[in-house]
Every structure is written in C-alpha cells, then in structure tokens.
Amino acid sequence: MSMVGISLNTYNSVLAICAAVAAIAIWPLSPNTLDRERPAWFFVRFGGRAGLACWAFGLWWYTQPTDDKWEATVMQLIGLVGGMLFLAILASIARELELLHAARKLTTSSVLLIPIGLYTFVMPFPQNEATIDQGPFGFVAVVFVLLSIVPWYWLLLRVARAVLELASEARWTQRAHQDYSQREAGWHDRMKQYEE
C-alpha cells in the first residue's frame, strides 16, 4: 500500500482500522483462565488489550490535522508492546494445550515483533511515489523494499499458522467434550430406565 501512490492519511486510516479490529478481537482471545495459576498474567492480558487500543488511537491521531505528532508516535510504540503481549498470551494458551510447535512459533513472533516494528517505523515509507532507479542502484532499492516488507509477511504467516493450529485443537477438544457429554447423558438415561 505504501508504494502504490496513496496518500499518507489514507494509509494511516487503513492501518488504524486494522488496529481497531485487532484491539476488539483481543478481548475474546485473551481469557482470564490463565490468571488462576499465574496472577501476573492479569497485567499481561490487560497490557495487551490496552496496547492494541493505543496502537489504533495512535494511527488515528496521525490522520488528524495537527502538527504535534509525538503523542501518536508514543501510542504506536505502546501498540508494539501490546502486540508482543498478545502474542505471548497466545503462546501461553498453546503451551497449556501442549501445542509446543505453535507455542514456539508464537513466542518467536512475539520476540521479533518489536525489532521488526521499530525497523518499519524508521524506514522512509509510505511515500507518495516509489521509483526504482534503472541504473546500478536499482537493485539496492529493491533489496531495501524487500527487507522492509518480507519480515511482516513472514511474521503474519507464522502467527496465522499457529492460530490455525490453536483453532483446530479447540474444535477437536470441543467435539470430544460433546461426545463425552452425550455418552454420559445416554448412560444416565439407561441407568434410570434400569432402576425403574
């Protein structure tokens, strides 16, 4: 999006919408069951929720016609920490379900989110227009663009695969619980008929 010539306000507005969706989605995806064994997760859970909300607010602040943007910058940096905490929550859920491969993916993603986010934050995008030089320095520009974009795709795919593993395990567990409940109900019905 940052290289197809869209305006900076449109770019930030779209990112703010994505951040708002993430801030809303984190509420049902961060249960309080982790707080029972580790009370510190209460702060991690609400830190992730507040951090993603700050990220959305910071991006929205960039679209406002004010010259003072340092608050928006601080909010986005808090949002990076909130995203890291949210991935840590998902990794903890994966460990509770003994999905160690998904937990490793989410833990690695949470650790790498801050450096990737900071690098993206200081890079000179979005631009109104991206031109690649046809000379010998054109390849350097292509490599720079790839270094700026590829880590986000890699991070997104890792998180998506881990979340799909979590969703698959949750569906399987729910189905097994339903089957068990139906067998228990059938057994109780048979015992009641036998007693009568």
What is the predicted pLDDT for the residue at 138?
Answer: 59
Q: What is the pTM of this model?
A: 0.70
What is the predicted pLDDT for the residue at 128?
Answer: 47
The residues spanned by each domain of the chain are 8-195
- Cα–Cα distance, 109 to 158 (Å, whole number): 7
Q: State both tokens at 126.
A: 């979005």
Q: How many residues does the chain have?
A: 196
Show the low-confidence residues of the chain (pLDDT under 70). 1-6, 34-35, 37, 68, 123-142, 195-196
Q: How far is CA 87 from CA 52, 74, 92, 132, 149, in A?
A: 11, 20, 9, 35, 20
What is the predicted pLDDT for the residue at 196?
Answer: 60
- Cα–Cα distance, 154 to 114 (Å, whole number): 14
